[in-house]
């Protein structure tokens, strides 16, 4: 389960960074924050 959360978090953060480069700042910031919250290294919302 921890590996799956880590992979989801990485995908969300990368998608957020791509959105920032496309000048979609709000969407990029939301994706990065959600990725940091989901990741097992951060404050996981599932534990």
Residue 43 lies in a domain: no
Structural domain count, the chain: 1
| Residue pLDDT, tens place only, 1-47 | 778 888 888 899 999 999 999 999 999 999 999 988 887 666 555 55
Residue 47 lies in a domain: no
Domain housing 17: 2-38
Q: Return the percent helix, strand and coil in the chain, to nearest 5.
A: 70, 0, 30
pLDDT at 43: 58
Residue 22 lies in a domain: yes
Residue 29 lies in a domain: yes
DSSP letter for 39, please: S
Residue 8: partners with Cβ closer than 8 Å, 6 or more residues away: 35, 38, 39
State pTM to two decimals. Answer: 0.78
Distance of CA 36 to the CA centre of its chain: 5
Residue 12 lies in a domain: yes
Write the burial class of residue 41 (CB in 10 Å: 0-12 exposed, 13-18 middle, 19+ buried): exposed
C-beta atoms surrounding 38 within 10 Å: 21
């Amino acid at each position: 389960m921890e590996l799956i959360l880590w992979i989801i978090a990485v995908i969300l953060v990368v998608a957020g960074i791509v959105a920032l480069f496309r000048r979609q700042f709000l969407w990029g910031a939301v994706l990065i924050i959600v990725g940091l919250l989901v990741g097992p290294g951060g404050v996981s919302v599932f534990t």
